[in-house]
Amino acid sequence: MRIHIHDFAGHPFQAELSRELAARGHDVEHAYATQYASGKGKLERLDGDPGALTFRGITAARTFEKYSPLGRVRFEKSFAKAWVGHLEQTRPDCVVACNVPLFVLNKFSSTMAKSGQPWVLWHQDLFSSAIGEEISKRLPAAVGPSAQRWVTRMEKNLVRSASQVVAIGEEFRRAYRRWGIDVRHVSVIPNWAPIGEIVPRPRENAWALAHLPQDRGIRLLYAGTLGRKHNPVLLIDLLRATLDKGIEARLVVASEGEGIETVREVAERQPELPITLLPFQPAAELPDMLGSADVLLTLLEPGASRFSIPSKVLSSLAAGRPVLGLMPRDNPAALDIQAAGGYVGQPDAQGVMGAAEWLHKMAQSPASLVLAGGRSRQLAEERFGIGPIATRFEEVLAKAVAGGIPAPQEAAQTAEAVS
């Protein structure tokens, strides 16, 4: 089968899936957005990669303006044109769309419906919930509800029009049912981390020697996107609360964008705080970066928990380090953290104080940190084997190709109606 997997963000585990599918004899093109800054996977051919695997960066004519609503829409239309143009030339047997922005997906699905091209929506976030949060903040109350309904209707049409849907959690399928959607074309396949690439590494490794002061404190590392669904101030609050407990600690943040700039402003005003700030690191250095930490951090705001399951938790588990999450306790990722012996607190002042108390207890017993890290890696090895995961994706792809696009003319009309 000729498969085009487009992961807009360019994350590690999607690239692992492409490599595995190519190793099984499929002709796989793995695409990603060149203009989107994030923690990237290995997005180039490596020694030993199957001959049937290729990587392609998609670049829009317009620049990416993440925090400008109008600029973001213009970019997404431009990106859709570039991506759809490429697909019209290559004509794969099936397209998998993952992490692709909503307005890009809308244009893409309209084109797929007209051509009868089978495609799979690999649904990572409930866009309408995320965008609805922004709408409620930015638009007047008189127009906000109408705009939210418009966005929700667009996402409903995408779920309906996809040949198959891969949802990353049961909450997605429950949302589809609330929307009145028949879910027989939906499969739930949770996210994972590439345990062959992200392996436990010594705390003092080449990356740590190059980037971190060799102080004696506990290293608290946050690596990944700091977007609107994360509160970066909590990282500073956690560091302060930990230091107040008499624990030597250093906060390390590897990210880019608005979130890390918020942390940078505090670090510049208060240089006495032990903080190290770094940009996103190359994929090849990810294991050493994660391994350099004593505790790996994750954040998620309460509103975002309805539509997001942070996959950085899964990389943290694979790295064999304890995980501390400031996030709603009912999020599936929070359940993973707790199962591995980490700590989960609400993303508020009370949660920060509880996290600092947990860190204090762990600091008194270094063996506890090692034990929790071992449990993290054990959980990852039990759940993240790429073989069974790839088999499930093959089954979904086969269904998509066999079934084509549901009701092509109707799907095209509904996509056009919201474009």
What CATH number has the domain bearing residue 68?
Answer: 3.40.50.2000
Looking at the fold, whether 61 and 188 belong to one and the same domain comes out as yes
Looking at the fold, whether 375 and 389 belong to one and the same domain comes out as no
Q: What is the pLDDT, as a whole number, of residue 419?
A: 39
- The residues, any chain, with a CB within 8 Å of residue 402's CB and separated by 6 or more, are none
Q: What is the pLDDT, as a whole number, of residue 257?
A: 86
Task: Return the closest-CA partner of residue 72 out of 8, 124, 136.
Answer: 8
Average pLDDT, the chain: 91
- What distance separates the 2 farthest-apart alpha carbons in the chain? 66
- The residues, any chain, with a CB within 8 Å of residue 281's CB and separated by 6 or more, are 39, 207, 223, 254, 289
Looking at the fold, whether 234 and 287 belong to one and the same domain comes out as yes
User: Do 10 and 283 form a contact (C-beta atoms < 8 A)?
Assistant: no
CA–chain centroid gap for 265, Å, is: 26
Looking at the fold, whether 225 and 370 belong to one and the same domain comes out as yes
> Kindly report the CA angle at 145 between 143 and 147, in degrees rounded to 5?
70
Looking at the fold, whether 392 and 335 belong to one and the same domain comes out as no
Residue 198 lies in a domain: no
Looking at the fold, whether 411 and 348 belong to one and the same domain comes out as no
Per residue in 96-139, pLDDT (tens digit) is 999 999 999 999 999 999 999 999 999 998 877 666 656 556 65
Domain count, the chain: 2
Looking at the fold, whether 23 and 38 belong to one and the same domain comes out as yes
Looking at the fold, whether 176 and 220 belong to one and the same domain comes out as no
Residue 201 lies in a domain: no
Residue 199 lies in a domain: no
Looking at the fold, whether 54 and 133 belong to one and the same domain comes out as yes
The pTM (predicted TM-score) of the whole model is 0.88
Per residue in 171-229, pLDDT (tens digit) is 899 999 999 999 999 999 999 999 999 999 999 999 999 999 988 889 999 999 888 78
Residue 222 lies in a domain: yes
What number is the average pLDDT over the span 51-72? 91
What number is the average pLDDT over the span 41-64? 96
Q: How far apart are CA 271 and CA 268, in angstroms?
A: 6
Looking at the fold, whether 140 and 239 belong to one and the same domain comes out as no
What number is the average pLDDT over the span 230-255? 96
User: Do 308 and 128 form a contact (C-beta atoms < 8 A)?
Assistant: no
Residue 133 lies in a domain: yes
Looking at the fold, whether 172 and 299 belong to one and the same domain comes out as no
Looking at the fold, whether 161 and 210 belong to one and the same domain comes out as no
Residue 200 lies in a domain: no
235: region left, alpha or beta (phi > 0 left; psi from -120 to 50 alpha): alpha
State percent of the chain over pLDDT 90: 79
Residue 166 lies in a domain: yes
Residue 197 lies in a domain: no
Q: What is the pLDDT, as a whole number, of residue 128?
A: 73
What number is the average pLDDT over the span 342-348? 96
Q: Which domain holds residue 406?
A: 2-192+385-417
